[in-house]
């Protein structure tokens, strides 16, 4: 009887430990799917906001600017600024945007290499402890940040050149997924969880390399065009 009670308690504790990361992942996924409110500041939760454009507000209390239409609003501002430039100015500005994107993506490779190395070590159980899984996610998070900055630079260059073929694809990583949440759980972590995270790191690495190749190709075309002129 005592053994049965011990087994049931252990089973219950295990279910709770595994369930907490999954519950967190579900909450994060649900929150991400909810539409942004355009009349409430997400930074300080006040309704004291000024509407700048459809779906865009500026908070009169803390100064935060956001809303569901923020991306389009920023693109509109960029288009208006680009329209005021001469063709040569647009070309030079776009060229600098792409060079900045290339520089950032070159740095991403080292961060993703660190993430892949930490992930491989995690799969074989090296360097465990309470920080298990954190090292790879720290490197991956930094890489994603730089990739998104490069992504924005590519969009800016595309707008200035009035072209859509350079528009980058969305970066496919979800830190709120069950795999990532379980990957930083000391008890719930497992080889299969680590393998799932490792595969996602490799996918992001491939995407980063594709982005870099596209930027390099665009730079070569622009520089060749400039030399021909």
pLDDT (tens place) for every residue of the chain, 229 residues total: 555 555 556 555 454 444 544 444 444 444 445 556 778 888 888 889 998 888 889 999 888 888 888 878 888 888 888 889 888 888 889 899 999 999 999 999 888 888 888 777 766 666 554 455 677 778 888 888 888 889 888 888 888 887 755 655 555 444 444 444 444 444 445 566 677 777 888 888 888 898 899 899 888 888 777 665 5
Output the pLDDT for position 16.
47
CA 151 from centroid of its chain's CA atoms? 10
Closest CA to 115 of 177, 175, 29: 175
Least Cα distance to 110 among 149, 135, 139 occurs for 139
Specify burial of residue 114 (Cβ count, 10 A radius: 0-12, 13-18, 19+).
Answer: middle
User: DSSP string covering 79-129, please?
Assistant: HHHHHTS-HHHHHHHHHHHHHHHHHHHHHHHHHHHHHHHHHHHHHTT-S-S
Question: Could you give the angle at which helices 191-228 and 134-160 cross, rounded to 10 degrees?
Answer: 30
CA-to-CA distance for 83 and 98, rounded, in angstroms? Answer: 19
H/E stretch holding 59: strand 56-59
Taking a C-beta distance cutoff of 8 angstroms, is the pair 134, 184 a contact?
Answer: yes
The two tokens of residue 7 are 């087994």
Write down the pTM of the prediction: 0.62
H/E element holding 179? Answer: helix 178-183
What is the side-by-side order of every strand in the sheet holding 56-59? 49-53, 56-59, 65-66
Q: Are 7 and 26 in contact (CB under 8 A)?
A: no
| pLDDT at residue 96, as a whole number | 92
Dist CA 135 CA 116 (whole Å): 10
């Amino acid at each position: 009887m005592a053994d049965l009670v011990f087994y049931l308690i252990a089973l219950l504790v295990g279910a709770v430990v595994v369930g907490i990361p999954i519950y967190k992942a579900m909450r994060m996924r649900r929150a991400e799917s909810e539409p942004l409110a355009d009349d409430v500041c997400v930074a300080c939760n006040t309704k004291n906001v000024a509407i700048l454009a459809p779906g865009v507000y500026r908070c009169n209390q803390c100064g935060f600017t956001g809303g569901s239409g923020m991306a389009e609003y920023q693109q509109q501002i960029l288009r208006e600024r680009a329209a005021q430039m001469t063709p040569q100015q647009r070309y030079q500005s776009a060229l600098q945007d792409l060079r900045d994107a290339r520089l950032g993506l070159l740095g991403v490779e080292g961060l993703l290499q660190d993430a892949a190395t930490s992930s491989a070590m995690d799969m074989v159980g090296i360097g465990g402890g309470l920080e298990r899984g954190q090292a790879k996610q720290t490197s991956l998070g930094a890489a994603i940040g730089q990739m998104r900055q490069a992504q924005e630079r590519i969009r800016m260059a595309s707008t200035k050149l009035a072209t859509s073929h350079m528009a980058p694809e969305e970066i496919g990583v979800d830190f709120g997924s069950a795999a990532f949440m379980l990957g930083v759980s000391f008890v719930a972590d497992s080889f299969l969880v680590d393998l799932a995270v490792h595969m996602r790191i490799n996918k992001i690495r491939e995407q980063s390399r594709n982005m870099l190749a596209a930027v390099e190709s665009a730079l070569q075309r622009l520089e060749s065009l400039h030399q021909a002129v």
